[in-house]
Structure 1
Amino acid sequence: MTFAPFAAIFIIAWLWVVLRNLEKGITFVIAVLPFGMFAAISLAGLSLLLANFLAMLTIAALVVRRMASRTSGTTVMLPPESRYLVFFAGYALFSAFILVRLFEGDFLVFPLNLNAGTTQVSISYPSAMWLLRPSGSNLSQSFYILLSCGFFLAAISAAKRWGSHVIEFGLVCAAWINIILGILDFLALDDLLAIIRTADYSLANQQQMGGFARVIGGFSEPASFAAASSTLTAYFTMSALIGRKSRDVVLATGNMVCTVLAFSSTGTVALLGAGVLILLHARGFLTNTLSRTFAHALVILAAAVVFATCLFVLLTPATDLISDMIQRLILEKRNSMSGIERRAWAYTAFVAFWETWGLGAGAGSLRGNGLLSVLMGSVGLPGVIAFAGFLYYAVLKPIGHQDAEIQRMFYASRVSSLTLLCSMLLSATTADPTLLLMSVAALAAVSRDASVRVSNNLGRDEETAHQPGMPLQGTDMRS
C-alpha cells in the first residue's frame, strides 16, 4: 500500500474544517471532486481517490456522531428518493455477491479490468472476454456504489441541518478548481499536475484534435473532464439566468470553455443537452422580472460572443477545426476502434440482462457502455426501477412553492443532474452513480423539500387566519 504524500495536506485541511463544523466536510468533498486522478491511497493496483477517501471519512464521522447522540426509540424516516436509493444500493450489493455466483460460467462478459480477459473476440479492438465469474471488481464496485449512496444521504442530512449552501458552496469551489486545473493543463504544466496525478490510471494527456492538445484538467482523460465541466456549466448557467450573479456567469463561461477544449464527444453531447434543458426550463428565468441593467448586460454579452465568434472564424483555421471535430467525434465515431469496442461492451451488457432473466449479472461483473446498458446488465430490472424512482423523486418531480432562491437552486441542480446523466448515458462503464451526481441530486432534493415546507407553512398561516373565532388579518379587535 502506498500513500500520496501531497494528499496529507488535503487531509489535514479536511480535519481542520470538520473539527469546526462536521457538516462542512460535505462541502470539502464536493470541492475536491475535480481532482479526478488524485489518489490518496494505492493498493495492489487499485487507487482510492482523494474525494472518495474523504467522503468515506465524512460519512463515518457523521454516523458516529448520530449514533452517539441518538436517543432510544428514535426512528429515521427516509424520504422517497432516499428509500429508492437505499434499495438500489442494497440490490447492487446482493447482485455483486449472490447473483454473480448464481450465474457463474453461463455466458461471456467484458471484465472491468480490460487486461484480465482470456478471449479476444475481435481484431478490431483489444478488449478480451471471459466467462462470468466473481472478481475483485464486485467488491470494489459495491464499495463505490455504497459510498455514493451514503454520500447522498449525508449531504441531505447536512443540508437540512445547516442549509443548502453546504452543498452549493462546494460546487462553487469545485467550479473554480476545475477551471484552474484546466488552465494548468492547457499550458502543458505536466510537472506541476503530476503532483495530483497519482492514481493507477492510464493518462491520456497527449491526444490532439486538429493540431490542438485535448485538455483533461485534473482527470485522466478528456471524456471525464468534459462530463464534469459540462455539469458545472449547466448548474452555473441556470443559476446565473435566475439569480443574476456575476460570479455564476464567470464560472459558467470558464467551465464551458473547459468542456469545449476537451474536444470530447461525451462533453459535446452533454453541452448540447444542457442547452436544450436550459431552454426547456426557460420559464424558470423568463417569468422573473428582468431588470433593465440585466437585460442590457445580456444583450451586450450576446453581441460580444457573436462578434468574437466571427473574428475567431475569420482570423483562425476554426472552420477546419470544427469540421475535423464533427467528422471525428460524431460522423466517424461509430466506425472507429473505440466506437466498435464500446458497441460490443453495450451489446454484451444487454445479453447479460437477457441471460440472467432480468436480474443482472452483479455490480462490477461486467463492463458496458452507457448507463442504461450497465444498469441492465449489472443490477437488472430491479436496479433500473430503483434508480429511476430515485431520479424521479430527487430530480424530476415538480417543485412546489416558487420562492426565488429555492427556485434558483432547484432548477440549476435539476439541469446539471440531467446534463451529467446525458454524459453517463453515452459513456458510463460502471453502475456507480458517482459523487458528483449525488451532490447535485441532493441539492435538488433539499430544495424541493424546502419548497414543500414553505408551502405548508403558508397554508397553515392562511388556515389559522380564517379559523372561526380568529380575527382576519388586518381586523381591529377593539371595534
Structure 2
Amino acid sequence: MITAIGSLLILPCLWFWRRPAALLALVLVYSVFSAAAILVVGGLGVTPALVPAAMFIGLFLLNMFNGVRYHAERPALLLLAPFILVICGALISSFIMPRLFEGDVLVWPQKISPFLVRSPLAPNAGNITQDMYLLANALLTICAALYLTRPGMLLARLLDAYLASGLLVIFIAFWQFAGNILHIPYPSAFFHSNPGWSQLSDQTIGSLTRLNGPFSEPSSLSAYMCASLSAAGWVMLNGDRRLLPRLTFWGGLCVVLLTTASTGYVTLLAMAMLLVARVVIAGGPLLRKRLAIGMAVFLVLGGLAAGAVPAVAPGAAKEAMLVINATLDKRQSSSYQDRSTADRDSLLEMSATYGLGVGWGSNRSSSLLPGLLAAIGLWGVGGLVWFGGVLTLRARRAMRRTEDPLLRHVMRGSAAALISALVSALLSGPTISSPDFYLLLAMLVAATARGLREAAPRRHVGQAVARLTMTPLGRANP
C-alpha cells in the first residue's frame, strides 16, 4: 500500500530515475521524513530515503558494468577499505554468532515488546532486516563515494541540498509548534505513517508539547538539527557569507531549544567545546577573531533573553524552568535507568561472547558504542576506529594540499555534520541507520580522495622542476 506522503515523494524519483546527481539530492531531502513510509508491506514501512538510494545504486552499478569509470576511484577505495572490511564482518557475524552462542547469552530484542524482558540469543528476523539496512547504507556510501570523485561542483551542491533539507525540517517543526500553540492544523499522521516505528509525538513537559517534527521522537529531531546547524556553523565560521547556512544555523538553534531534548542540549554543548578547542589549537587569527565575535553575540543575545523573557512572558519563563529542571534531573528518571540498564547489559553480552559480539541485529541497546560492542565486538569497533583515524588524517592532508575552495568547503561541512551525528548517537542512539549520514560520509571520502588526487600531479611536477634546476653540487643554477 502506498501512503499519502509516498504518493507525493515517489513522483520525483520516477522523474529523475536517469539522473544520479538528482537522486543523491533526493536521498538528503527524503531522509528528513524518517518516521514516514513511502510503501507499507506486511506491516513494515519502506522509509522514503531508501527509494532514491536504491535507484542510485542500481543506476551506478549499471554504468559501472558498462565501463564507466570516475576520476579518483582508487584513492576513494583505499580510504573505504577498513569500512568495507567491517561491513563484511558485520554481515557474516549476523549469521554465525547467533548460532555459535545460541541460548548462552540474554539479549534485548530489536523490536520493543510490551513486556521489557531479555530473551535468549537465537537467530531472528532482526538479523535479516538489520542486514538489509546495513547493506543498503554501505552500498550507498561506496557507490556515492566513487561517483562523487568526478570533477565539478556536484559535491558543493549536495552540501547545499543538505542545508536546505535542514530548512525544510525547521519549517515543519515551526508548523508543529504553531499547531500546538495556536491550534493550526498539523498533519501528524501524514509525517508519521511508518507502522514499524514507535511514534512518540505526544510527549509533554508541563503544559508544553514537545516537538518532534517529521521524526519519531524529540531526541531524533534534535540530533538531526544539531548535525545540520553544526555543518552550517562551521562553514560560516570559515567565511561562508551566504543566506542559506545562516538561516539553517539560527533556525536550527531555535528548533533544538524548542525540542526540550537532553540529547540536543548535550550535543550542542559538546560541539561548542570541540569548536573552541579546534580554533584555539589549530585556528588562524582570522578564525579566532570570528569565533570571538560569535561568542560575544551569543552572550549578548542570551543575556537579553534571560532578562526580557521573565518580564514580557512570565508563563514562558516558567515553562523554561520546567525544561531546565527536567534536563538536570534526567539521571533520576525511569527512562534513563532503563536505557542505562540496556547499555550495561550490552557490555555484558560483549564480555560473555569473548569480545566477538552476538551478531549484527541480535541486540538493541540505548546508545551507539554499547550497541556496536555487543553486535560486532571489539574487532568491529577497532576497525571503525581505524577507518575514522585514517579518514581524519587523509582529510587533513587533503585540506592542506588542495587549492580548490569548494573541496575545503565540503570537507568542513560534511565533517562537522558527521561528528555531531556521532556525538548524538553516542548519547542516545542505538544505531545510525539514516541514509543521509552515509551519504555525508561518502561526500567526505570523495572530497578527500579528489583533494589528494589533484594535489599529487602538482607535487610531482614541483619535485621534477626542483631536480632540473639543481647542479650536481646541490646549488641552484643562476
Deviates more, 1:8-17 or 1:130-139: 8-17
- Conserved? CA contact 1:333–1:339, under 8 Å: yes
Please report how far the alpha carbon of residue 440 of structure 1 lies from its aligned counterpart in structure 2 after TM superposition. 2.6
**Residue type at the aligned position of 1:222:** P
Report SS of the residue matched to 2:468: coil
Please report how far the alpha carbon of residue 278 of structure 1 lies from its aligned counterpart in structure 2 after TM superposition. 1.9
Look up the match of 1:4.
3
Residue 28 of structure 2 is aligned to residue 30 of structure 1: yes
For residues 270 and 17 of structure 2, what CA distance do their matches in structure 1 show?
A: 37
Deviates more, 1:396-405 or 1:372-381: 396-405
Report SS of the residue matched to 1:42: strand
Residue 136 of structure 2 is aligned to residue 141 of structure 1: no
Instruction: Decide which of 82, 89, 95 is 2:87's aligned counterpart.
Output: 89
- Conserved? CA contact 1:240–1:246, under 8 Å: no
**Residue type at the aligned position of 1:100:** P
For residues 293 and 367 of structure 2, what CA distance do their matches in structure 1 show?
A: 42
Structure 1 residues 64, 237: CA separation in 2 closer, same or farther (over 3 Å shift)?
Answer: same
Look up the match of 1:458.
458
Please report how far the alpha carbon of residue 18 of structure 1 lies from its aligned counterpart in structure 2 after TM superposition. 3.7
Report SS of the residue matched to 1:198: coil
Structure 1 residues 406, 306: CA separation in 2 closer, same or farther (over 3 Å shift)?
Answer: farther
Look up the match of 1:231.
227
Deviates more, 1:227-236 or 1:24-33: 24-33
- Conserved? CA contact 1:394–1:442, under 8 Å: no
Look up the match of 2:190.
195
Please report how far the alpha carbon of residue 32 of structure 1 lies from its aligned counterpart in structure 2 after TM superposition. 1.5
**Residue type at the aligned position of 1:420:** A
Q: CA RMSD in A?
A: 3.0
**Residue type at the aligned position of 1:169:** D
Structure 1 residues 302, 83: CA separation in 2 closer, same or farther (over 3 Å shift)?
Answer: same
Look up the match of 2:414.
413
Look up the match of 1:119.
none
**Residue type at the aligned position of 2:125:** G
Structure 1 residues 288, 52: CA separation in 2 closer, same or farther (over 3 Å shift)?
Answer: farther
Please report how far the alpha carbon of residue 362 of structure 1 lies from its aligned counterpart in structure 2 after TM superposition. 0.9
Instruction: Decide which of 201, 205, 208 is 1:212's aligned counterpart.
Output: 208
1:63-94 Cα deviation digits (max 9, x unpaired) = 122112359xxx96753441111112111111
Look up the match of 2:430.
429
Runs of 4 or more, structure 1, over 6 Å off, are 290-302
Unaligned runs of 5+ residues in structure 1 are 117-125, 471-478
**Residue type at the aligned position of 1:6:** I
Look up the match of 1:120.
none
Please report how far the alpha carbon of residue 296 of structure 1 lies from its aligned counterpart in structure 2 after TM superposition. 8.4
Deviates more, 1:380-389 or 1:138-147: 380-389
Look up the match of 1:167.
158
Unaligned runs of 5+ residues in structure 2 are 471-477
For residues 50 and 2 of structure 2, what CA distance do their matches in structure 1 show?
A: 14
For residues 297 and 365 of structure 1, what CA distance do their matches in structure 2 show?
A: 45
Please report how far the alpha carbon of residue 171 of structure 1 lies from its aligned counterpart in structure 2 after TM superposition. 0.5
- Describe how 1:15-414 pairs up with structure 2 within 5 A: 15-19=14-18, 21-69=19-67, 78-115=76-113, 126-161=115-150, 162=152, 163-188=154-179, 191-200=186-195, 201-242=197-238, 243-282=240-279, 287=284, 289=286, 303-304=300-301, 306-317=303-314, 319-330=317-328, 332-395=329-392, 397=394, 399-400=396-397, 401-402=399-400, 403=403, 404-414=405-415
For residues 266 and 87 of structure 2, what CA distance do their matches in structure 1 show?
A: 28
Structure 1 residues 352, 244: CA separation in 2 closer, same or farther (over 3 Å shift)?
Answer: same
**Residue type at the aligned position of 2:233:** T
Report SS of the residue matched to 2:46: strand
Please report how far the alpha carbon of residue 262 of structure 1 lies from its aligned counterpart in structure 2 after TM superposition. 1.0
For residues 371 and 300 of structure 1, what CA distance do their matches in structure 2 show?
A: 34
1:419-476 Cα deviation digits (max 9, x unpaired) = 111110111223x453232233223223333332343243234234434279xxxxxx
Structure 1 residues 170, 353: CA separation in 2 closer, same or farther (over 3 Å shift)?
Answer: same
1:277-319 Cα deviation digits (max 9, x unpaired) = 2222326996275899999899678645543443224433455
For residues 369 and 190 of structure 2, what CA distance do their matches in structure 1 show?
A: 35
For residues 333 and 391 of structure 2, what CA distance do their matches in structure 1 show?
A: 37
Report SS of the residue matched to 2:40: strand
Structure 1 residues 181, 395: CA separation in 2 closer, same or farther (over 3 Å shift)?
Answer: farther
Please report how far the alpha carbon of residue 127 of structure 1 lies from its aligned counterpart in structure 2 after TM superposition. 1.3
Look up the match of 1:473.
none
- Conserved? CA contact 1:47–1:199, under 8 Å: yes
For residues 299 and 465 of structure 2, what CA distance do their matches in structure 1 show?
A: 48
For residues 273 and 291 of structure 1, what CA distance do their matches in structure 2 show?
A: 19
- Conserved? CA contact 1:152–1:438, under 8 Å: yes
Please report how far the alpha carbon of residue 239 of structure 1 lies from its aligned counterpart in structure 2 after TM superposition. 1.0
TM-score, normalised by the number of residues in structure 1: 0.86
For residues 132 and 190 of structure 1, what CA distance do their matches in structure 2 show?
A: 46
For residues 349 and 294 of structure 1, what CA distance do their matches in structure 2 show?
A: 40
1:368-397 Cα deviation digits (max 9, x unpaired) = 121110001011112111222222233465
- Conserved? CA contact 2:149–2:447, under 8 Å: no
- Conserved? CA contact 1:270–1:419, under 8 Å: yes
For residues 24 and 281 of structure 2, what CA distance do their matches in structure 1 show?
A: 28
Look up the match of 2:473.
none
